[in-house]
Structure 1
Amino acid sequence: MLFLDAFRWIFDPEHWSTVNFGPGILDELGAHLWLTLISVVVTAAIALPVGLYIGHTGRGRRFAILLANVVRAFPTLGLLSLLLSTALFASQDAGVVANVLVFVLLGVPPLLAGAYAGLESIDRRTIDAARAMGHTELQILRRVELPLAAPLILGGLRSAVLQIIASVTIVSYFGTNSLGDFILSGLASTDYVQVVAGSILVTALALLVDGVLAVVQRTARPRGVSRGRDRTTTARGRSASAVSRAPMPEGN
């Protein structure tokens, strides 16, 4: 019954423009997406070049793993409280920067891991063949490694985006608009229908974005890669079968 009331609350046209004389669903959704977008863009600008460099050269992998594990150990709420308590004394813009910094720290490890793991998963013989054909390192990265590693890179991006979308909810605790406002205001007024409705909105947004990225990840696989592997495997199997059926030479 509570969930049915929460869905009625969500689909109430009045709640899309205003809720309890405050921002409505559209405004809070826009603020949530905007903060998520900024955090994802900054995360990609940091993690992708570093991950591609590590995957292409093989250098710095242990340091990247150590740094990612250290960052993952940070408590999100505690770190956000620490940064905002100092940043808000400066200006409101400093508070936004503190929010983005925390979410970037959350998003960098999975995207960084997806980038270098994607490049490391490529058969080294493919890279050597591209070098033998005279391609430069930049051409190898752009024409060979990136297309083949795209599914794993996008997998890391999906994980980073989901973590950021879920974590943006807590900024409402510090006065920044997001879908978490409905959860906090519902708890403050013991309006549990609004609490559940806010949770449903955050979950639906995460599932929708993840579904879009899943489709992009599926279509990012280069055509013929899996087929090429199947043909190679089949050819090897036929060769091995032919060798096993070949007559053995008689000894002298």
Structure 2
Amino acid sequence: MNWLGWLHDFFADPAHRTGPDSVVHRLLEHLAFSAEALGLSALVALPLGLLIGYSGRGLFVVTAVAGVARALPTLGLVTLAVLLAGVGDTAVLLPLTALAAPPMLVAAAEGVRGTDPDVRDAARGIGLTHPQTLLRVCVPAAAPTLLAGVRTASVQVIATATVAAYVGLGGLGRYVIDGLATRNYPTTVGGALLVVLLAVGVQLLFALLIRLAAPPGTRPGPRTRARRTGGDATVPASTPALVKDAP
């Protein structure tokens, strides 16, 4: 049977339309696990990253630790969490939080660190305190980078939250794990497709948010056509002038 046939069997199954094994129910479970993990990570990683980026202290250590944390095996962390805390939400939230925190932390630190020093000095010169400069100047300027870090963390968490089914919990991973265990390939393929579609949807959503968060002068705008001798050149309408008129 081909892939399309498997997908047809999966979505045509009445059990996947209503009840505890329905697509909507499993999707909501998956989103709940992911949102909890991302929320916990944001509460810790974003404030810490903003402070590190603003002060410039400890950035190398944070980057190194984040790189090591990304290499940790999620399934191994889930197994360890089950042994320590038993089967439950904690066994999934701890590994997912550990997975989501590093990209958020690094993005927050790098985004604030990349703020124009002259702009920061000007903010301090007009009487803003350090917290005011951080929140009113640095954070808005770093918003695209911050959102990029949250996007990376979100996609990773959504893709990895399938491990919740490994310890008996729900989510879209239930289709994948149960399908593999029973050799029910339509269920396996359907669950995997849903995870991919959810990750792609979140990716596109954050791409839109990053575009909206970018400073107006740097947003891609409609292209205008400028005629020149020997041919036409397409130039973005929002491209800032980099060279002043010569006298």
By how many angstroms is 1:225 displaced? 4.9
Question: 2:7 maps to which residue?
Answer: 7
Q: Does 1:234 align with 2:243?
A: yes
Q: Secondary structure at the match of 2:115?
A: coil
1:44 alignment partner in structure 2: 42
* Alpha-carbon separation, structure 2, partners of 1:13 and 1:192: 13
2:23 aligned with 1:25, yes or no? yes
Q: Give distance in 1, aligned partners of 2:9 and 2:17.
A: 10
2:95 counterpart (80, 92, 102): 102
What residue number does 1:247 align with?
none
Change (3 A) 1:78 1:229: same
CA distance in 2, matches of 1:45, 1:132: 31
**Residue 16 of structure 1 aligns with which residue?**
17
Summarize the Cα distance change of 1:71–1:44 in structure 2 as closer, same or farther, 3 Å threshold: same
Q: 1:102 to 1:224 in 2, by over 3 A?
A: same
Of 194, 200, 204, the residue aligned with 1:201 is 194
d(CA) in 2 for partners of 1:28, 1:225? 40
Find the counterpart in structure 1 of residue 180 from structure 2.
Answer: 187
Structure 2 SS opposite 1:145: helix
Deviations 1:90-133 (A, max 9, x none): xx5xx312311111110111111111111111211111111111
Partner of 2:69: 71
Change (3 A) 1:216 1:229: same
Q: Distance in 2 between matches of 1:229 and 1:116?
A: 28
1:137 aligns with 2:120: no
Instruction: Tell me the residue number matched to 1:246.
Output: none
Pair member with larger Rg:
1
In 2, are the aligned partners of 1:72 and 1:109 still within 8 Å (CA)? Answer: yes
- More deviation in 117-126 or 30-39? 117-126
Aligned residues: 229
Aligned-pair CA distance for 1:66: 2.3
Which amino acid is the alignment partner of residue 128 of structure 2? Answer: H
Bigger shift: 168-177 or 58-67?
58-67
Aligned to 1:162: 155
Runs of 4+ with deviation above 6 angstroms: 226-229
Q: Which residue of 2 aligns with 1:61?
A: 59
SS in 2 for 1:177: coil
Q: Give the C-alpha shift of residue 187 in structure 1.
A: 1.3
The residue identity in structure 2 corresponding to 1:58 is G
Tell me if structure 2 keeps the 8 A contact 1:150–1:220.
Answer: yes
Instruction: Go from structure 1 to structure 2 and tell me whether the alpha carbon gap of 1:208 and 1:69 turns closer, same or farther (over 3 Å shift).
Output: same
Q: Unaligned regions of 5+ residues in structure 2, if any?
A: 220-236
CA distance in structure 1 between the partners assigned to 2:214 and 2:83 by the alignment? 45
- Whichever structure has more helix as a proportion of its residues is 1
Checking the alignment, whether the CA contact within 8 Å between 1:172 and 1:184 is kept in structure 2 is: yes
Distance in 2 between residues matched to 1:134 and 1:186, nearest whole Å: 62
Change (3 A) 1:220 1:9: farther
* Cα distance in 2, alignment partners of residues 110 and 177 from structure 1: 26
Deviations 1:204-223 (A, max 9, x none): 11111111111111101122
SS for the counterpart of 1:224 is helix
Task: Please tell me whether the aligned partners of residues 103 and 164 of structure 1 are also in contact (alpha carbons under 8 angstroms).
Answer: yes
| TM-score (ref. length: structure 1) | 0.85
Instruction: Tell whether the 8 Å contact from 2:10 to 2:186 is kept in structure 1 after alignment.
Output: no
